[in-house]
Every structure is written in C-alpha cells, then in structure tokens.
Amino acid sequence: MGQMLIGVDFGATNVKIGCFDLQLQLIDHTSVTTHADQGAEAAVERIAAASEQLVHDVGGSAESIVAAGIGTPGPADYQNGIIINAANLPFRNTPIRQMLSTRLNCPVAFDNDANVACWGEFTAGAGKGVSDMIFVTLGTGVGGGIISGGRLIHGCGGNSAEIGHIIIVPDGRLCGCGQHGCVEAYASASWTAERAKEALEAGEASSLEALLNRNGGITCEDVWQHRQKGDALAERITDETARALGMLCVSLLHVLEPCRIVFAGGMIAAGQVLLDRIRHYFDEQIWTMKKEPLEIVFSSLGEDAGITGAAGLGRELLKSSSLQG
C-alpha cells in the first residue's frame, strides 16, 4: 500500500477511525472504546495504536500514515489544537492535536465534529460538486457546518455554524442553551419526541399513548412511525418539526445562499416523508420574487461522514505543508 490518511471521529463513548488513500477512498475502518475517564494520554495512545494496526492490516506500516485529522465535540480552541472543555469528555485544556501528531509522527488537522462531518459530505458525499453548502445534523440537538467558497467557515472565535440556535419563534420554547425559540427546541430528534410527550400528557388522543404508558417514554422514531400509521397527533408533531426545518432553510438561504443544504443525523431515518415535508414548508415560506434553485437533500455518507471529513482535512493540511515547503 502507498501513502495513507487517518480520519478520527472522537465521541464520548467510542472513537471511529478510518484509513483512506490520498483520493479519500475508504480502505478500512475500526473503532475503539473512548474510556475518557482514563485520561487524554491513554485515549490518544489507543487511537494511535488502533490507527497503526488498521494500516498494518491493509498492508501498510506506521510510516505509511502521512496525515491525519480528528473531530471532537466543542468547545475547543481549534486554531491552536486544544480541547477546552468538550461536551461529555473530562478533558480540560488538552492539546489533542499536538499529542496525536507527536504519537503518529505526521501533521494532524483538528476541528469540531460537526465541521468535520460537513467537510466529509462536501468533499466525498452529498455536497460534492458545489462550492457553497450547509450541513445540518438532526439528533439530540441540531448542529451543522458551513462551506462558503469551498472553505469551512469558523467565525472569529471558531464557533460559528451553531445552526440549531437560530431563533425561529420569538419568546418560544426554552432551549437547553438558555435561549427561547431556537430551531433546536422544535426540530431536534429529542425535542420532537418531547413535544409529542407533552401533548399526550395534556390529554391529546394518540396511538402513542399506549407506548408511553408501557415504556415510560417515546422516541422520535416512534413519532415518525406512528405518523406513517396515520396517527393525527404524530402527523401534527412531525409537521411542526418539518416546518421549523423549512423555516431554517429559508433563513440559511437568505443569509448564505448555498447551492445545497444537506441534512444528516438519526432523524433522516424517517426517510422521504421528512425530506418532502421540509421541501414543502420551504416552498410555502420562501419569497415569490424569484425561483430559488436551492437543493435540499439527505447525507450520503451516513456514519462515515466524520472519519471521511477528518481524513479530508488531514489531506488539506498535507497539501498546505507541501506548498509551504
């Protein structure tokens, strides 16, 4: 095997690691348990050892790794490669980029996990072929990344693209961030389920009631499944979710004018009905002065977006180093 790139998607429970060629084709992947409680040094050692084993298994050696990238939850000082206080990780002021670079003996790129996944879709997934793209993840929260002119947008403090905290309802629902009316409080997977639960507890009739009584809770997946079965409350709740996302797309279009908005995350398992409803509410709310060619699509890389984007950022760093050298 020739030169290889390593992409690392660092989660609180597991770390996904991918091995790629220089054309960003995935060769193989693996995962290790984070064990963050054992400290950053131990975590970096596990990642490096697993990366080297992965490369060895496909016919390479440690020297085959020419660059790597890593994505972690924020907040972090991405310019200097330091995890400041990552969500669900007990790391404080940890120079993660330098630690991994020293251990793998290669340049390492470092960015927010949502930005990394965004870069993956942009370079090798649903955003391929455009210069301006917005990536929106629908999970416990609503996150994302922004590509403008072929470059990731970070903002003055490195923490831009907090897409889920755009306010769409003045004085609306209290969001976990402390603001009121954020799109996340209406359109994330967890809040979609919570709104359905609140409606049931307020006495609204639904086939979801038996599920709530039996399990003590309901999931976003449950709500979408019951919509497909014709449940009126589930249809209303999921339409509210899609409407919030349609409103979000309108705002993102007017501010940034992307060619494409790519939705990812667990909620896109709802399938075509979700995409169709987002597009419906976008068309309903967008201005009529001119036809907008914006494409609204689903992610194509799925769970591989993070490792692909991390490896892709490593490749960009390698190119930059070569030009400077």
pLDDT of res. 322: 63
pLDDT of res. 323: 57
Token code pair at residue 161: 């693209």
pLDDT of res. 88: 75
pLDDT of res. 1: 67
**Amino acid making up residue 68:** A
CA distances from 37 to 12, 13, 59, 91, 228 (A): 10, 10, 33, 9, 42
Q: Which residues of the chain have pLDDT under 50?
A: 325
Same-domain check for residues 27 and 59: yes
CB 139 within 8 A of CB 100: no
Following CA atoms 266, 296, 146, 151 in sequence, which dihedral angle do they give, to the nearest 10 degrees?
Answer: 120
CB atoms within 10 A of CB 172: 16
Q: Which residues contact 228 (CB under 8 A, 6 or more apart)?
A: 273
Residue 186's domain is classified under what CATH number?
Answer: 3.30.420.40
Same-domain check for residues 296 and 307: no
| Structure confidence by residue, pLDDT tens digits, 41-70 | 999 999 999 999 999 999 999 999 999 999
Which helix (H) or strand (E) segment holds residue 100: the answer is: helix 96-104
pLDDT of res. 74: 78
CB 89 within 8 A of CB 72: yes
CA distances from 241 to 141, 196, 299 (A): 13, 11, 18
Same-domain check for residues 240 and 318: no
Q: How many independent structural domains does the chain possess?
A: 2
Token code pair at residue 10: 């660092």
Distance CA 34, CA 13 (A): 5
Same-domain check for residues 93 and 211: no
- Map residue 152 onto helix, strand or coil: strand
Same-domain check for residues 308 and 292: no
Supply the range of the domain harboring residue 255.
129-300
Same-domain check for residues 201 and 281: yes
| Structure confidence by residue, pLDDT tens digits, 111-148 | 999 999 999 999 999 999 999 999 999 999 999 999 99
CB 138 within 8 A of CB 189: yes
Same-domain check for residues 140 and 64: no
Same-domain check for residues 212 and 295: yes
Same-domain check for residues 134 and 271: yes
Phi, psi of 162 (to 5 degrees): -80, 65
Same-domain check for residues 149 and 110: no
Same-domain check for residues 42 and 137: no
pLDDT of res. 218: 97
DSSP 12-49: SSEEEEEEE-TT--EEEEEEEE--GGG-HHHHHHHHHH
Same-domain check for residues 114 and 135: no
Specify burial of residue 201 (Cβ count, 10 A radius: 0-12, 13-18, 19+).
Answer: exposed
